[in-house]
Copies of this chain bind each other. A is one copy, B any other.
Amino acid sequence: MDRRQRKTREAIFKAFIFLLSKKNFNNITVGEIIEIADVGRATFYAHFETKDFLLKDLCGELFDHIFSPETGNSNGNIFHCEGQDSVFLHLFKHIKKNDNNIGKLLASKNNELFLEYFQRGIKGLVIKNLADFQHKKPELLPENFWINHISASFINTLKWWIEQELQQPPELITEYFLQSI
C-alpha cells in the first residue's frame, strides 16, 4: 500500500479512536474526523464509504489479525506469544497491557461496538479449544448453546473487569471466568 494511503488511513483511525473516547459514535461527524485527522473531505470518502464502514474497518484492523492464526506478522497475534498460558489468560494479559489500544477502546463509552465484534473472534477461539470445556458441559445442553454460553461468559467477565477498572490481575480474572462456567 502506498505510503500516502497508509498515512491517511492511520490518521483517520487515530482521530476516530480519539473521538470515540470522547463521545458517542452516533454523534461523531465526518467533519470532526477529517478536521482532527487533518485530511481532505474527498480523501476520507476515497478511503471509507461511510462512517459505519470506518468502524467496521477499524474493528477488522484491531481484531482480525489477533484471531487469525495464519497471519505472517507475529505482532499482536496471541498465537505467537511465548509461554504456556491458556489463550484466555493471554488475552486478558494483552488487554491489561493495552496492546494496540484495545484495552482503552474496550473501556470507552462505545465499548458495546467493539465487544460485539470481539465476541465473534472469541467464539472461534472457544471452538478451537472446545475440548478443554467439554467435560464441564451439562449433557442436556446443545453444543452450539454451550459454545455461545462460554464465549458470552468470557465477554461478560471482561465487561465486569472493565467496570472494576482492570484492578484485578489477569490470573484472577481467568480464574473467575473458568469458575463461572
- In the complex, how many residues of chain A place their beta carbon closer than 8 angstroms to a beta carbon of chain B? 22
Known: A145-B160, A160-B145. A179 touches B140 (CB 8 A): yes
Interface mask (A126-152 → B, CB under 8 Å = 1, otherwise 0): 000000000000101100111011001
Tell me if B160 and A156 are in contact (CB < 8 A): no
Tell me if B180 and A149 are in contact (CB < 8 A): yes
| Residues of chain B contacted by A179 (CB below 8 angstroms) | 138, 140-141
The answer to whether the Cβ of A26 comes within 8 Å of any Cβ in the partner chain is: yes
The answer to whether the Cβ of A85 comes within 8 Å of any Cβ in the partner chain is: no
Known: A112-B112, A152-B153, A152-B156. A140 touches B26 (CB 8 A): no
Q: How far is the CB of A133 from chain B (nearest CB, A)?
A: 12
Q: How far is the CB of A24 from chain B (nearest CB, A)?
A: 9
Interface residues of A (CB under 8 A from B): 26, 52, 112, 116, 138, 140-141, 144-146, 148-149, 152-153, 156-157, 159-160, 175-176, 179-180
